[in-house]
Amino acid sequence: MTPMIDVIFLLLTFFLLTANFRVPEDFLPVRLPEQSQTQSFSVIEPLGISISDSKSGFIINIANAESISVEADNLDKGLAVFAERLRSTIESQSRRPDDPVEIGCSDMVKWDYLVKVYSILNAMGADNITFNLAGNLSDEVN
């Protein structure tokens, strides 16, 4: 019994000497406002982009205001027009990159077109993108 107690005390001594104790945290200085001010937070309405199918490509509608027809045989030019109009819409509405964007898509649109629109939004800095694959956004987002 005595050797077991010796081993236990040796182990206890070892663990106490090798333990790293946590340093007490310092309090962060806090500066409170001089006057109590109430701030109102408003929910930012998402920028609605709907994509619908057409015979020769697809149609992009930005915020139910601007429609851009993108032809399948001239995809790069149509997407460049979309990027430019999207940039002007974002600037005119004073939007930030973290503002929400909702993409609505009809069932007949090819996934490749949806991915290209998403890639443009991502390249422009949008990081809060949601999808509404049930249909167009005409009834939901103004």
Contact 105, 129 (CB under 8 A): no
Of 75, 82, 38, which Cα lies nearest the Cα of 61? Answer: 82
Higher pLDDT, 44 or 87: 87
Residue 117 token pair: 């629109």
Q: Report if pTM > 0.75.
A: no
Give all strands of the β-sheet with 129-132 in edge-to-edge order: 66-71, 57-62, 47-54, 101-105, 129-132
pLDDT tens-digit series, residues 46-78: 889 999 998 888 999 998 777 888 998 888 999
**78: phi then psi, degrees, rounded to nearest 5:** -65, -40
User: What is the 8-class DSSP label of residue 44?
Assistant: P
Amino acid (one-letter) located at 36: S
Q: Is the domain 47-132 a CATH 3.30.420 member? A: yes
Identify the H or E element spanning 120. Answer: helix 111-123
Identify the H or E element spanning 130. Answer: strand 129-132
What's the CA gap between 70 and 85, in Å, rounded? 13
Of 65, 70, 67, which Cα lies nearest the Cα of 54? Answer: 70
Residues paired with residue 71 on neighbouring β-strands, in sequence order: 57
Nearest-10 crossing angle of helices 111-123, 75-92: 50
Q: What is the pLDDT of residue 8?
A: 94
Going by pLDDT thresholds of 50, 70 and 90, the confidence category of residue 9 is very high
